[in-house]
A and B are shown apart, each in its own frame.
Chain A
């Protein structure tokens, strides 16, 4: 039972719970109209302390498509945070108005602080460079839907693996499935954090390699997860400019890839995926955005514990 629970870390859900969530998402995809009033009378608060377009709109679209309603704020300037209100006080107040909350915050751990004080389920919609569990659910549902399974893959993760929270969450989640090999492709400066390497990969005896060049490995991959080199995660503008174009996926690299490769990206992209491959059937990042909405619909239903059709 997920009713009343929070989703802060992708590991908050067991593999079995994920499976049930994806089954529900599958049913919603098959017949979305059947769920059009599942959350009628319920209110989702979107508390976004930093700008986000697609995550916030994805949550809002998910709730509206379930017949629920949405309120919230989309930057800390337009909330009481600008007056110095704590996250704990904010969630206790919002818990009086809404039934469920999706929170994005630039500081790591803020949604966890909220969850500890919240009377309503809190969903972490991204906390700094830390975790982004609903993106992970999106990624897993995309892979499961397109490949029919979540085990026995060689998964390449490319780009900013140090600050890219979607990468950390995805590694944690995929590490629980059998036969996953990770190929971690990044510049030296943007390698995965030690705790992911040591506590997730090495501790669980998961096969992985760390390399610098995408073209050296793309032919071995079943899934390629591209990430943006995010300007806001750098302390130094010169470092950003030096590294941002390091890893660009284009037609020439795609020629070396397997025919059934799936290219995922959490979006928005800047230039790390050339638009010339958007029409390649292996480029699934826009489908992925749609799966993101469906999985959030399933998650809202589960956390609210509303009757499933």
Chain B
């Protein structure tokens, strides 16, 4: 079994749906990080079957709304002195700004570049977000963040 050292001070992003770890890794620009980062894929999980985990040996600002938008089942553990000092459970944010672009070629955002791309949660059960301008649904299977 693969062993990854625990971290002394930093952040562990846990319970990431298997396969979404790289998306979050890229979103947080961890590919250019100068500190220690581990992306562990397909970890066995009792609750989820398989999951991804990201361990970051540093304190960085994380937009939890965006992470909640990507995967609201994620938990964020804040680590100090090798101990979890705080757990943050994510929720679906009501609105996300400039995280994904509207894919509707007829939307005003397709021709006016300076407009913020905003998506609003319209159905919590289905985790459905729509463009606030044209009502186009965000499809996580077709659109990357």
> A residues bordering B, Cβ < 8 Å?
86-88, 105-110, 112-113, 127-130, 195, 199, 203
Q: Which residues of A contact B109 (CB under 8 A)?
A: 109
Cross-chain contact A109 with B134 (CB below 8 angstroms): yes
B59 interface residue (CB < 8 Å to A):
no
B62 at the interface (CB under 8 A from A): no
Option from B114, B122, B132 in Cβ contact (under 8 Å) with A112:
B132
Chain B contacts for A128, CB-based, 8 A: 106, 134
Q: Which residues of B contact A (CB under 8 A)?
A: 104, 106-112, 114-115, 122-123, 130-137
Are A109 and B131 in contact (CB-based, < 8 A)? yes
**In the complex, what's the smallest C-beta–C-beta distance from A254 to chain B, in angstroms?**
35
Query: Given contacts A129-B106, A199-B122, A199-B123, are A112 and B112 in contact (CB under 8 A)?
Result: no
CB neighbours of B131 from chain A (8 A)? 109
- Contacting pair B137 A113 (CB below 8 A): no
> With A113-B115, A130-B135 in contact, do A195 and B108 touch (Cβ < 8 Å)?
no
One of A108, A129, A203 near B108 (C-beta < 8 A) = A108
- CB nearest to B123 among chain A residues: A199
- Shortest distance between the CB of A163 and any CB in chain B (Å): 9
Would A195 and B130 be within 8 Å (CB), given that A86-B114, A113-B115 are in contact?
A: yes
With A and B bound together, what is the CA distance between A199 and B135 in angstroms?
11
Complex CA–CA separation, A130 to B102 (angstroms): 14
Contact B122 A107 (CB under 8 A): no
Closest Cβ–Cβ distance, residue B65 to chain A (whole Å): 20
Cross-chain contact A109 with B130 (CB below 8 angstroms): no
